[in-house]
Amino acid sequence: MGNTQVSIALAGNPNSGKTTIFNSVTGARQHVGNYPGVTVEKREGIRRFKDKELLVVDLPGTYSLTAHALDELVARNFIIQDKPDVIVDILDAGNLERNLYLAVQLLELERPMVVALNMADVAEDMGIKINDSLLSQKLGAPVIRTVGNRHTGLDDLLDAAVQAAAEKSQKPFFVNYGPEVEGKISELSALLEQERHNLRYPQRWLALKLLENDSDICKSVQELPGGAQIIKAASAARESLQEVFGTDPEIAIANLRYQAVGELCEEVILAGRSGLLTTSDKIDRVLTNRLFGLPVFLGLMWLLFNMVFTLGEYPMGWIETGMGKLGEYAALYMPDGDLKSLVIDGIIGGVGGVIVFLPNIILLFLGIAILEDSGYMARAAFIMDRIMRAVGLHGKSFIPMLLGFGCSVPAVMGTRTLENPRDRLVTILVTPLMSCGARLPVYTLLIAAFFNEAVAGTVLFSIYLIGIVLAIVMARIFRTVLFKGDPEPFVMELPPYRVPTIQSILMHMWERSMLYLKKAGTIILAVSILIWFMVSYPSDVEYSKDYQGMIAQAEAGFSQQVEEQVAKPLQIGAVEDNEELQTLIASMTAINEEFDAAAEELEEGSEELAALTATKETDLKQLEEANPELYPMGELYLELRGAADEEITALEQAEAGEKLAQSYAGRMGHAIEPLIKPLGLDWRAGIGLIAAFTAKEVLVSTMGTIYSLGAVDEGSVELQKALVEDSNFTPLSAYTLMVFVLIYAPCLAVQAVIKRETNSWKWPLFSLVYSTILAWIVAFAVYQIGTFLGY
């Protein structure tokens, strides 16, 4: 470490204010990642304090070190194996007895330690008075009063931590577990003494863990040279204690430890909590009420959901526009070729598809940070637990699943509120079945093409309903088959309500946003380039027609028409020879382009469109009055130019369609056609599904390319007409395609985030495979049953 650096491990119960202190101490100098090989989040920060550089590690919040959960195992292994210079244990002064249980276990690890008596102001408001000097004497460790969200006592805490680290020793702390347990501890300690050179843990602590039958410790002791003898002795000791206490030794030792903690609290707590209801108790009478609790919770979720996807719409639009401008800039200054296509279609298009979700991520974690830091998130889980447990999920699973209707990316990230790994994985796997906003353009296109307005709403509702039902069914299957075990008991502390600190909320938003950009962005960039390659190659395609020759011929025909119908009557060699005509054509073009841009989002028959049309006609009329002789020629030139452009665009789109059909992606479409034929789909739909793996809405633009229509959206009448005229498409196959799009492989952004959240490629690959198989089965059933019924 060096003489000037001190490593500090921050430990504490959930809701003890540990993260607030971590943020206050380290500020913006933080790094967030995962502990090696596990999904538990690792947070580190740097703080310069006096002449020392403090490396502060925020350990996972835990109630004990019994290693029943991954968080507990990671916390204790970090303390023992990484050997921080000092442990700072954050205690909630208002819940001292519960928090001291962890403190006692930490002291038994025999590492230098400082205790922070946090939220001392809240404890005093509750009528709790603690003799901190006596507590320090009993624990053998410095006790410092702190109020984390007001930065009170933090300098004193760091002073004590630096001093404890310099002393490199901890005063002995001893819990007397009674003659029966102490006798067994002595027996095992004597055997462990023979292996002292091979031990990474204190002997007394190891003996306790062996008596508690800690699987991780038993495994490590078994590997020692004399490990077999020690394990045999520990097994005999546990059997003896079982007979003495009539219960599992682990439970007996825990009870004795709680008893010791209770006796300690009786000595150091001078005045306990008064019988008066606290502010939190009064608020909970409404917010967790059997009658009002659920409606209030649903109302708050509705507000959060709308904030994320309504407020996020504007910055998402700005980012989309910015990425579009960047693409235009690249197109303007880069020479034509594969590199230009890679940069514009692969890199800018791929990365833009990731960055566009950033506002949603920021707003989502703004809402979650407020709910967590205020103390309401624990209440939300409590309220929803009974309903979610019926389908094999935890109460907290409801929030990310609800967010999945907007976008699965922030929904999967929202599963971080679930502590239990099984509940979290099940939620991650079923959340993409919620029909996200990216699928809506596909539904809109197909419903508009094949279903009349009378049933359109019902068709759309049925798709959303299928997703909900499948999520419930798959959650139950996963909990029964893949993640066996008894449901996680709902044990959760309801912390007092607090006003969230701005610093904590901003840090929360910042770190999540950066993780999203760094991790998801890099993966998506790589796969986007791969998709671009599959769509763009091979480049040596044999076309059915000489499209380039036909395009050149169309240009030549346009030039000849202009010469005969415009230039000759005006007695000029070319349009460029008449400056007034050039200026007039430029002005008319600008008016038309301005109108097209403004009218793009307006509905037919609307007052806004009528007013815009009137303005356009007025502007053109003014040009005609100012140039009565040249105006008809300008109008004719634009008509000829428009007809030529339309013909050239049709040729270019036909060429692009043939190129796509012969690309690697097109060949894959033909290759998978036998698999999707039983679903009523052909190779064109296959290409669309392959391309839509990057983002579901891409299917619309891909179908536009396949049908040689160029850039289209879900409202494109031309694409709707092309689909209807395709004999391979029917209302039933269109509905089947919607069902398949709903269920199959989550998009690239979601896959990347699943990888990030699970710290493994196994689960995104499993999600991809299971959802695609499920999509095929359900779509097959829909199409075959529909065909049997005569649809």
Query: For the chain, what are the domain ranges?
Result: 5-167, 178-260, 369-537+663-791, 547-655
How confident is the prediction for the chain on average, in pLDDT? 82
CA distances to 97, 131, 270, 400, 625 from 134, rounded to whole Å, are 15, 6, 11, 46, 97
DSSP assignments along 35-73, one per residue: -TTS-SEEEEEEEEETTEEEEEEEPPP-S-SS-SSHHHH
Cα(274)–Cα(268) distance, integer angstroms: 17
Over residues 288-315, the mean pLDDT reads 76
Q: How confident is the model at residue 712 (pLDDT cuts 50, 70, 90)?
A: very low
For domain 5-167, say whether CATH 3.40.50.300 is its number.
yes
In this structure, which amino acid lies at residue 210? Answer: L
Instruction: Give the pLDDT score at 430.
Output: 92
Q: Is the pLDDT of residue 722 over 70?
A: yes
Q: How confident is the model at residue 90 (pLDDT cuts 50, 70, 90)?
A: very high
Q: How confident is the model at residue 35 (pLDDT cuts 50, 70, 90)?
A: very low
Of the listed ranges 31-35, 204-208, 662-666, the least confidently predicted one is 31-35
Instruction: Give the pLDDT score at 237.
Output: 92
Cα(723)–Cα(715) distance, integer angstroms: 13
* 540: number of Cβ within 10 Å: 6
Instruction: Give the pLDDT score at 521.
Output: 60
Among 218, 203, 206, 137, which Cα is nearest to 173's?
137
- Partnered with residue 152 across adjacent β-strands are 147
pLDDT, tens only, 589-627: 999 888 888 887 677 778 888 888 899 899 889 988 888
Instruction: Give the pLDDT score at 706.
Output: 63
Cα(241)–Cα(180) distance, integer angstroms: 7
Q: Is the pLDDT of residue 769 over 90?
A: yes
3-state helix, strand, coil in the chain (%, to 5): 70, 5, 25
5-12 and 52-58: which strand pairing?
parallel
- Residue 662 structure tokens: 């012969």
Q: Higher confidence at residue 705 or residue 670?
A: 670
- Orientation of helix 664-676 relative to helix 683-691, angle to 10°: 120
In this structure, which amino acid lies at residue 525? Answer: L
- Residue 461 structure tokens: 């509702």
Highest mean pLDDT among 60-69, 230-239, 749-758: 230-239
Residue keyed to tokens 């398949």: 740
Cα(189)–Cα(177) distance, integer angstroms: 15
Q: Are 304 and 411 in contact (CB under 8 A)?
A: no
The H-or-E segment that residue 32 falls in is strand 30-34
- Residue 648 structure tokens: 């050239």
Q: Is the pLDDT of residue 321 over 70?
A: yes
Over residues 120-135, the mean pLDDT reads 84
* 502: number of Cβ within 10 Å: 8
Over residues 452-477, the mean pLDDT reads 85
To the nearest whole percent, how much of the chain has pLDDT over 70?
87
Letter string b/e over residues 39-77, b meaning 16 or more CB atoms within 10 A of that residue's CB: bbbbbbbebebeebebbbbbbbbbbbbbbebbbbbbbbb
Instruction: Give the pLDDT score at 350.
Output: 60
Instruction: Give the pLDDT score at 126.
Output: 76
Q: Is the pLDDT of residue 369 over 60?
A: yes
Instruction: Give the pLDDT score at 759.
Output: 80
- Residue 302 structure tokens: 């509705």
Q: Are 715 and 444 in contact (CB under 8 A)?
A: yes
Cα(412)–Cα(397) distance, integer angstroms: 10
Among 416, 414, 426, 432, which Cα is nearest to 389's?
426
- Partnered with residue 43 across adjacent β-strands are 32, 58
Residue 602 burial by CB count (10 A; 0-12/13-18/19+): exposed, middle or buried? Answer: middle
pTM of the model: 0.62
CA 331 vs. chain centroid, Å, equals 32
Q: Are 734 and 450 in contact (CB under 8 A)?
A: yes
Cα(571)–Cα(564) distance, integer angstroms: 10
Among 184, 196, 88, which Cα is nearest to 143's?
88
* 457: number of Cβ within 10 Å: 11
CATH for 178-260, options being 3.40.50.720, 1.10.1520.10, 1.10.287.1770, 3.90.950.10: 1.10.287.1770
Q: How confident is the model at residue 713 (pLDDT cuts 50, 70, 90)?
A: very low
Instruction: Give the pLDDT score at 710.
Output: 43
Instruction: Give the pLDDT score at 505.
Output: 79
Q: Are 292 and 286 in contact (CB under 8 A)?
A: yes
Q: Is the pLDDT of residue 213 over 80?
A: yes
41-49 and 30-34: which strand pairing?
antiparallel
Q: Is the pLDDT of residue 649 over 80?
A: yes
> In three state form, how does the secondary structure of 433-469 look?
HCCCHHHHHHHHHHHHHHCCHHHHHHHHHHHHHHHHH
Q: Are 55 and 8 in contact (CB under 8 A)?
A: yes
Q: Is the pLDDT of residue 714 over 50?
A: no
Letter string b/e over residues 338-347, b meaning 16 or more CB atoms within 10 A of that residue's CB: eeebbbbbbb
- DSSP 8-state code for residue 94: G
